[in-house]
Structure 1
């Protein structure tokens, strides 16, 4: 008697995998929808990071600077060889700023070495700062974010103050600032005087002046200052600046145009009138080449800041929001279609 085949073959258990469309069926999102959603979320996170993290680190004074600015104009100067003041001469002031990158990286500050020469037509032709009419060297140290002076790292002069010198702070306001005048040895208030344009770059103009102020003394023959009966005397050095005008790009604080009218004189001790004009500059101003170069640098710096603080964050936020929305729609739609299969 043959056995029943069904008795030897165990019954197959029913499948536990739900059929498509049944309750509990797996609903899967497509890889594309997840990619779009992930990219959107990434851009939404990136936008505030650009504003709160990247921008403050981009808005700092550069340390790898190598810039030369030149003032020119007419004026007069004292010719020590001829013992007289020469009138209506070309006066040239050349300032070279070189960043000390190594010192800046060690200190976290902006360390700039500054060389300034004042030349007459005769000394300018020599092309040697040591033979200039006047030559000074300084080392400026400032906070890279605020532009405030920092007293460290061998700065010279050892004491200086103010809001601006070689540049203004970032994000200028329409108010007065204190500009450090190295000849005076003090900060001079500069008033906001409107806006102007230099080589296509809009800047804030600031103006001020320095009244006649005694700045030191110098040993000279008495007859040079009206005291022929005396040999060598300590004459008083006086300084004034009838017109200071600086134009700065407001976003970066970079100076794109400048004009000054310095006057340095000698007086006999206790006298109220000038006896000798050492140097007089009649509105010495940035040359055209300097204005053009400064405007280009200011525009390049401004464009970088606008890019990381405005264009990129807004672009990332807009694109991120759109991609995130599309990604959510694709995920929901994919699950719905899978659920109806």
Structure 2
């Protein structure tokens, strides 16, 4: 029977990351941000992070990989709504290229930055109950996310993963000396530091789609060689998916995981059962056919005239 081919051949080929993706995730929270007009950090501001992912179909088809262009903006109420994303508090464009089946990073097609790890915007298909190396674009490195059981998002059950980032130097930035407690120096090449209070990701097991995401970014400046932060650029204990983003993620996960179950489980089982039933019915009909007595031909019936041979 050909039914098992649906699970063994078709289903793995159905579990591929799309090349025509166009989706937006919105995070909201509160925290401290650096006000460039007041030249100081102001507390308890609403923070909105918008992450848009669009597939580059032409580059994807040429390379055979999924090429996704990503823009991430960080805004306060002062910069929203923004006619130009460059007006945001922070604006980061980048490109992620991945193997369509494994979700592993592929280094081609103008990828920027050099992304590593097992997962970034999504997890691989068929998520396992183990730790994963998640790419943190602000850190510029991977973070270990550990499996913490299951949790519901909008009534839908997913796998929960958590992790954090200790204070880590990520680069340098030229700033006025007064920002890093060096008022006698007009310009200082300050150190940029980053930490994360905690990641919480809840993921659909079948598709690897993120149903809920929570992050706690902290970005600071230090004077060269200093041991303590001198200025806080951004600090929030919790910035998380909005309710609307959660509902849309769950809707898509239900649709996509349902299609995978249909191809990988429901149809093969149904087709297999139907095949067995048809085979059984066929066997019964064959057996009954063999038991039917042969009907006598006219020549075998007494008194029936025999045909005459003619030349």
TM norm structure 2: 0.93
Deviation per residue, 1:127-175 (Å, 9 max, x gap): 4201111111111100011110000111111x11111111001111111
Cα deviation, residue 336, structure 1:
2.9
SS in 2 for 1:291: helix
Cα offset for 1:63? 1.5
Comparing both chains, which one has the higher relative contact order based on Cα–Cα distances under 8 Å and sequence gaps of 6 or more? Answer: 1
Distance in structure 2 (CA, Å) of the matches to 1:304 and 1:201 = 16
Describe the SS at the equivalent of 2:292.
helix
User: Mapping of 1:60-79 within 5 angstroms?
Assistant: 60-79=16-35
Could you list the per-position Cα deviations for residues 228-254 of structure 1 after superposition, in whole angstroms to 9, with x for gaps in the alignment? 111211000000001111010011100
The answer to whether the aligner puts 1:93 opposite 2:49 as a matched pair is: yes
Q: What SS is found at the alignment partner of 1:230?
A: coil
C-alpha displacement of 1:199: 1.7
Picking from 54, 79, 91, the partner of 2:10 is: 54
Please, which runs of 5 or more residues in structure 1 have no aligned partner?
Answer: 1-43
Q: CA deviation at 1:53?
A: 1.4
- Does residue 191 (structure 1) correspond to residue 146 (structure 2)? The answer is yes
Aligned position for 1:123 = 79
Post-superposition Cα deviations, 1:236-290, rounded to whole Å, max 9, x if no partner, equal: 0000001111010011100000100000000000111100000112200100000
- Within the alignment, does 1:161 sit opposite 2:107 as a pair? no
Q: Paired residue for 1:175?
A: 130
- Is 1:147 the counterpart of 2:64 in the alignment? no
Q: CA deviation at 1:306?
A: 0.3
* Aligned match for 2:164, one of 201, 205, 209: 209
User: What 5-or-longer segments of structure 2 have no aligned partner?
Assistant: 297-311
Paired with 2:155 and 2:293, the residues of 1 have a C-alpha distance of: 59
Shift in Å at residue 339 of structure 1?
3.6
Give the aligned partner of residue 279 of structure 1.
234
Q: Which has more radius of gyration?
A: 1
Partner of 2:63: 107
Q: Secondary structure at the match of 1:73?
A: strand
Q: Deviations over 1:13-46 (max 9, x none)?
A: xxxxxxxxxxxxxxxxxxxxxxxxxxxxxxx32x
Superimposed CA distance per residue, residues 172-226 of structure 1 (whole angstroms, 9 cap, x where no aligned partner): 1111001100000000000111100112221000000000000000001111110
Residues 338 and 301 of structure 1, relative CA distance in 2, 3 Å threshold: farther
Conservation of the 8 A alpha-carbon contact between 2:96 and 2:115: no
Following TM superposition, where does structure 1 have runs of at least 4 consecutive aligned residues deviating by more than 2 angstroms? 125-128, 338-341
Aligned to 1:12: none
Question: How far apart, CA to CA, are the structure 2 residues paired with 1:238 and 1:339?
Answer: 94
Match for 1:232 among 176, 184, 187?
Answer: 187
Partner of 1:266: 221
What does residue 221 of structure 1 align with? 176
**Cα distance in 2 for residues equivalent to 1:214 and 1:244:** 19
Taking structure 1 as the reference length, the TM-score comes to 0.85
Q: CA RMSD in A?
A: 1.1
Preserved contact between residue 123 and residue 208 of structure 2 (Cα < 8 Å): yes
